[in-house]
Structure 1
Amino acid sequence: MHNQAFRPARLLVGGLTAVAVLLAGCASGNSDATAASTSPRQAGFVGEQPDDAEPAAGGSLTFGSYSLPTVLDPARTQAAASTGGTEMAAIYDTLLRHDFDSRTFVPQLAETFEGSDDLTTYTVTLRPGTRFSDGSVLDADAVKWSIERFVTAKGDASQTWTNVVDTVDTPDELTVVFRLKRPWSDFPALLSLGPGMIVGAGSDTGGTFTPVGAGPFTVTKFAPREELLLSARADYVGGKPLLNTLRFVPTAGAQAQYESMRSGQFDMTFILRDERVIDQALADGYTGFLSPTGQNGIGVINSRPGRPGADVRVRQAIAYGVDPEAINQRANAGLGTASSELVPEGSRWYSGAEGLRFDPERARELLDEAKADGFDGRISYLTTQDPGQQATALTVQAMLQSIGFDVAVDYATDTTDLVRKVYRDHDFDLTRGGAPIGEEAPFLNLYGSMGSDSRNNATGFADPEMDRLLLAVQTAPTDDAKRDAIGDVQRYANETVPYVLWGPAAVLTAWEPTVHGVKRTVTDIMLFDDAWKSGP
């Protein structure tokens, strides 16, 4: 079918990616900002960068992480740019990556990749001489072992893997064959994410996890919540990187990230959903990659037993009772887009299926029904001290209280703490997050955020009919059929409210003009094997 590169069926030019749930972080409010009408943002590289600079070896690059991971294990940390995917990719690499310019999946750590015409068999050929950072060989058996470890540990997207992959065969030391239970054109995305980050067996020696990868960099220092320092590997199979070191540090909100860029503390940073800061960075001429994505601003409702959201009427009341445009005005200075659709108009997957509309009277009726059956109206909203997060929290609090809820705002210490409370402890009622639908593989995040057995389902929502509708998205034979299937998911979500949709939003990974050679792949993970820095 394809050798070296694989193109999912008719990928749209301008396609977006993001296959993992992005939590916390929204735009900062500013009373001086003007609520201006803006045209939809387009995905792609932005800014101007001199193309006559010659690659130079040496130097260090500092990256302001959105949420510095606490564990550098792809089986325990989501492989998304917002949660440690870029950091882990530097250590482990990925078997494949998505190339934005060609709209194809291409080999990264692998040498070749091809898929069968019936989309049920995918073959990866490894590069001879590939070694892990501890000197051990990365061969077909090592790939199979790492993936089995990932699935056993129930890593991000592991349930999708189990549901769709039948066997992983290793006919020789450099060949890995993946046979699927049913056709799926988007399978290459998984080999660009956590399952494709191959962990060496030496990582688990001694009972304590130690990062052993085959990527371009190796860990020199790791102090969670403080710093991750990586050094270039001279024995990387792709050749020693030009950069000597990579340094990742945590950040405290979009405005602080951008100010650190401007002051020279960061060479790169990841700005999530802050339309005002993104506008400022673009106006100031920074280089980077812009990813506007649907479903990137949602109200995550805990629907587990014992929580207010376990009652569908409470979820419906929240959906009808919060005006997305009010959040846009208060938190985005009117620069964003208010929408209650799973995919926004302009997406290749937009079918015209509408979301729920703001209706405070209907919200009151539903809330009164729930109260008549014993609900006391109390609900907590989990947020952080970031100004944009607080702006959203206060807007939601005011609107819900106006229809009869009693809303308390609780604060997490930081984004990492919020992620822990939501994903590990499930200690929340309502928070703001995102489940951005990637254009290359829309099923992944639809299933991830709504599938009954999904490891990424932060809400606890479980519904057999929704599972059936999600399967129809995955198995749709054509783009038109997939678009219609997503429309069916939208209509059923209007009834069951797995979470509340407040609109699409943008992500900007920005870097200084002195940074060159960065490659972007799915979920806005950045790759640094070819990156380098020029002089000021």
Structure 2
Amino acid sequence: MRRRNVLLRLALVASVGLAASACGDSGGGDGAGGAGANGRITVGGYNYKTLDPGGTGYISKSVPISLDVYGSLFDPPTAKGGDFVPDLATGYKYSDDLKTLTIELRQGVTFSDGTPFDAEAVVYNFERYKQAESPNAQYFRQMSSVTASGEHQVTMTFTEPTATMVAFLTYTPATLIGSPTAHKKAGQQQFGLKPVGAGPFEIVSHKPGEELVLKPFEKYWDRANVHLAEVKFINTSPEAQVSYQHVASGSIDSVQVSGVSTPPNVLDDAKANQKIATIAGENTLYAFLPINTFKPPFNRPEARQAINYCTDRDSIATNVQRGWVTPAYVLAGADSLYYPDGGVDGAKAQFPYPFDPVKGKALVDQLGGLEFDLLNIGGHSQVISNALAQQWQQCGIKAQVKAVQGPQLSEAYSDGTYQMAYAFSGGIDDPQFYTSFQSPNTPQGKHGFAREHPEVPELIQSANRTVDPEVRRTTWRKVWTSMNDLAVDIPIISGPNYTFQNKCLADVDFAAVGAQFKSARLTC
């Protein structure tokens, strides 16, 4: 059975020895719960208005749900650093100069409207995604042309060497191929409400932002491995405590929360609850401090260095998050590709500004004081931001912690009106997907590295122009070393996503920002 595990090494945090007895308590009925549910499950956290990645308003966090409808051209590697796994595409080949990519498609596949999934369909979607109004356009910037070089073969050409396209066709909305016939017939707006793909499920009904109901697509090419009769996604509170209570009460079967932004008491309660499973993915999420280097006080490197010296990451991980996360010393989770040798301890040993309040205070005195605003999006981010501000006080640093809405923070990044923020990123083990804060061409990056520090984005571009894993490994370590030396985006903690789940639910495939239910089944 093919597995789509972006989070590859799953750990069952709850006591697996009690799984058999817990299944008998899972309840049942028309919605969530075990054997009485007749293969029907309910999943929390749905709040998406459109499922069309080629239209405005599409949110990348809906990719795992979209994959259940569209399918995927490629699946992630089954082992860290391995090759991409065939799905709707069966193979690929880059030219020697990395300016051409040829993709072979699976034959005999149809969309759920009965029309053929072929090269012409893929070309139609790629050309549509390249248009400026599509959020997918960012993945096709270097594509100069795309053609159907055969009935089941697609050829892409690029304006410059590009070694990242197959990764985009695995992890991002670029992999989602919809029926051209259905799109033309419905129009963009209506297609987003009920898209037609070639994935394991098709849509029964969709109330945007409220509820999405899926049933198996009977002519799906791998139908024998689709076991659930229905998957219903519903809108539930984003608060981790509420999400946990929903699963604990049996009103939903599955929901995912972020380890770096979830209160530790919620994770403690979930772990202790023997009636549900708490599943941890790979440590690929990270929290960090983006810094505006174009304005005081952080236009001076001494100010940034002082923050590092005065930050006790071990205390945040151990005392604030109770061990559910690890300290971060590079802008990646501890299970990410190219991470420094020796894991967290190895990264810590190479970190240029170890926790040293004496050195930090000396820099603050040299600066004549250090005072600034620290922005965050509220919730548990506010708790961690306050803990950091308290640590910095011992060095004479005065940080005013301010909670703002997400759109306000995005605007502050773009306008350069922020001084420092508490943010988090990651979720996939390949760091190439999380470089917006290091690029001068993005709203998040133009007031960070940008003009003053071109070496970092240049190194990242260099890493993305090779398929040699050892070269990429070496280059990414240079990226992290340079970023740490500059102290522009300061790492704090890292951790996994956690899924709260009905213990009767098995074989869920965990993706970067959610779960897929292509091969899932109820065991009791």
Fold match, TM over 0.5?
Answer: yes
**1:409-488 counterparts in 2 under 5 A?**
409-412=401-404, 429-436=419-426, 438-439=428-429, 441-445=430-434, 447-454=435-442, 457=445, 461-462=449-450, 463-475=453-465, 478-488=468-478
Does residue 377 of structure 2 align to residue 383 of structure 1? yes
- Alignment partners' CA distance in 1, 2:458 and 2:235: 42
Secondary structure in 1 aligned to 2:196?
Answer: coil
The change in CA–CA distance for 1:196 and 1:476 in structure 2 (over 3 A counts) is closer
Tell me which residue corresponds to 1:74.
Answer: 53
The change in CA–CA distance for 1:263 and 1:404 in structure 2 (over 3 A counts) is same
In the TM superposition, residue 455 of structure 1 has moved relative to its aligned partner by 7.2
Tell me which residue corresponds to 1:168.
Answer: 146
Tell me which residue corresponds to 1:259.
Answer: 245
In the TM superposition, residue 499 of structure 1 has moved relative to its aligned partner by 1.3
In the TM superposition, residue 311 of structure 1 has moved relative to its aligned partner by 5.7
Kept after mapping to 2: 8 A contact 1:330/1:392: no
Kept after mapping to 2: 8 A contact 1:320/1:363: yes
- Aligned partner (choices 494, 506, 510) of residue 520 of structure 1: 510
Which string of whole-angstrom CA distances, capped at 9 and with x for unpartnered residues, describes residues 480-518 of structure 1?
433322221122112323311012212122321222342
Q: Which runs of 5+ in 1 are unaligned?
A: 7-14, 19-41
Secondary structure in 1 aligned to 2:389?
Answer: helix
Name the amino acid aligned to 2:461.
Answer: L
Name the amino acid aligned to 1:257.
Answer: S
Tell me which residue corresponds to 1:491.
Answer: 481
Kept after mapping to 1: 8 A contact 2:105/2:118: no
Does residue 389 of structure 2 align to residue 397 of structure 1? yes
Tell me which residue corresponds to 1:182.
Answer: 161
Name the amino acid aligned to 1:531.
Answer: A
- Alignment partners' CA distance in 2, 1:340 and 1:64: 33
Secondary structure in 2 aligned to 1:250?
Answer: coil
The change in CA–CA distance for 1:295 and 1:271 in structure 2 (over 3 A counts) is closer
Q: Percent identity?
A: 18
Which string of whole-angstrom CA distances, capped at 9 and with x for unpartnered residues, describes residues 192-214 of structure 1?
42110124555586564641230
- Alignment partners' CA distance in 1, 2:303 and 2:102: 45
Tell me which residue corresponds to 1:270.
Answer: 256
Name the amino acid aligned to 1:151.
Answer: K
Q: Which runs of 5+ in 2 are unaligned?
A: 24-33
Kept after mapping to 2: 8 A contact 1:378/1:406: yes
- Alignment partners' CA distance in 2, 1:367 and 1:167: 54
Secondary structure in 2 aligned to 1:389?
Answer: helix
Task: Supply the RMSD in Å over aligned alpha carbons.
Answer: 4.3
Kept after mapping to 2: 8 A contact 1:294/1:342: no
Secondary structure in 2 aligned to 1:86?
Answer: helix
Tell me which residue corresponds to 2:9.
Answer: 43
Which string of whole-angstrom CA distances, capped at 9 and with x for unpartnered residues, describes residues 293-317 of structure 1?
24612223355x5686566554444
The change in CA–CA distance for 1:342 and 1:137 in structure 2 (over 3 A counts) is same
- Alignment partners' CA distance in 1, 2:285 and 2:514: 19
Does residue 519 of structure 2 align to residue 533 of structure 1? no
Which string of whole-angstrom CA distances, capped at 9 and with x for unpartnered residues, describes residues 343-376 of structure 1?
566766224562332344554555566679xxx8
Which structure has the bigger radius of gyration?
A: 2
- Alignment partners' CA distance in 2, 1:250 and 1:475: 41
Equivalent residue pairs, number: 481
- Alignment partners' CA distance in 2, 1:377 and 1:283: 42
- Alignment partners' CA distance in 2, 1:472 and 1:418: 33
Does residue 223 of structure 2 align to residue 229 of structure 1? no
**1:23-422 counterparts in 2 under 5 A?**
43-44=9-10, 46=12, 48=16, 58-65=38-45, 68-74=47-53, 83-98=61-76, 100=78, 104-108=83-87, 110=88, 112-115=90-93, 120=98, 121-131=101-111, 137-153=116-132, 158-159=137-138, 161-163=140-142, 165=143, 167-179=145-157, 181-182=160-161, 184=163, 187-200=166-179, 208=189, 210-211=191-192, 212-214=195-197, 215=199, 216-218=201-203, 220-224=205-209, 227-232=210-215, 234=217, 237-238=220-221, 239=223, 242-273=228-259, 274=262, 277-278=266-267, 281-282=270-271, 284=273, 286-287=276-277, 289-294=279-284, 296-302=286-292, 312-343=301-332, 349=338, 350-351=340-341, 352=346, 354-355=350-351, 356-364=353-361, 377-384=371-378, 386=379, 388-412=380-404
**1:500-511 counterparts in 2 under 5 A?**
500-511=490-501
Name the amino acid aligned to 1:220.
Answer: S
- Alignment partners' CA distance in 2, 1:106 and 1:193: 15
The change in CA–CA distance for 1:527 and 1:292 in structure 2 (over 3 A counts) is closer
TM-score between the two structures when normalised by the length of structure 1: 0.73
Which string of whole-angstrom CA distances, capped at 9 and with x for unpartnered residues, describes residues 58-78 of structure 1?
55322222x844543435578
Kept after mapping to 1: 8 A contact 2:505/2:521: yes
Structure 1 range deviating more: 394-403 or 257-266: 394-403
Name the amino acid aligned to 1:85.
Answer: V
In the TM superposition, residue 392 of structure 1 has moved relative to its aligned partner by 0.3
Kept after mapping to 1: 8 A contact 2:414/2:444: no
Kept after mapping to 2: 8 A contact 1:449/1:457: yes
In the TM superposition, residue 145 of structure 1 has moved relative to its aligned partner by 2.9
Name the amino acid aligned to 2:373.
Answer: I
The change in CA–CA distance for 1:142 and 1:189 in structure 2 (over 3 A counts) is same
- Alignment partners' CA distance in 1, 2:485 and 2:255: 39
The change in CA–CA distance for 1:348 and 1:242 in structure 2 (over 3 A counts) is closer
The change in CA–CA distance for 1:222 and 1:422 in structure 2 (over 3 A counts) is farther
The change in CA–CA distance for 1:210 and 1:360 in structure 2 (over 3 A counts) is farther
Q: Which structure ranks higher in relative contact order (CA pairs < 8 Å, sequence separation ≥ 6)?
A: 1
The change in CA–CA distance for 1:360 and 1:157 in structure 2 (over 3 A counts) is farther
Name the amino acid aligned to 1:377.
Answer: E
In the TM superposition, residue 152 of structure 1 has moved relative to its aligned partner by 2.9
Name the amino acid aligned to 1:470.
Answer: I
Kept after mapping to 1: 8 A contact 2:438/2:456: yes
- Alignment partners' CA distance in 1, 2:431 and 2:323: 27
- Alignment partners' CA distance in 2, 1:290 and 1:218: 29
Kept after mapping to 2: 8 A contact 1:125/1:174: yes
- Alignment partners' CA distance in 2, 1:488 and 1:206: 47
The change in CA–CA distance for 1:470 and 1:324 in structure 2 (over 3 A counts) is same
Kept after mapping to 2: 8 A contact 1:517/1:532: yes
TM-score between the two structures when normalised by the length of structure 2: 0.75
Name the amino acid aligned to 2:128.
Answer: R
Secondary structure in 1 aligned to 2:234?
Answer: strand
The change in CA–CA distance for 1:162 and 1:395 in structure 2 (over 3 A counts) is same
Structure 1 range deviating more: 84-93 or 175-184: 175-184
In the TM superposition, residue 148 of structure 1 has moved relative to its aligned partner by 3.1
Name the amino acid aligned to 2:245.
Answer: E
Which string of whole-angstrom CA distances, capped at 9 and with x for unpartnered residues, describes residues 103-161 of structure 1?
553233x152233595943413144352256x665432332232233333476675454
Name the amino acid aligned to 1:243.
Answer: A
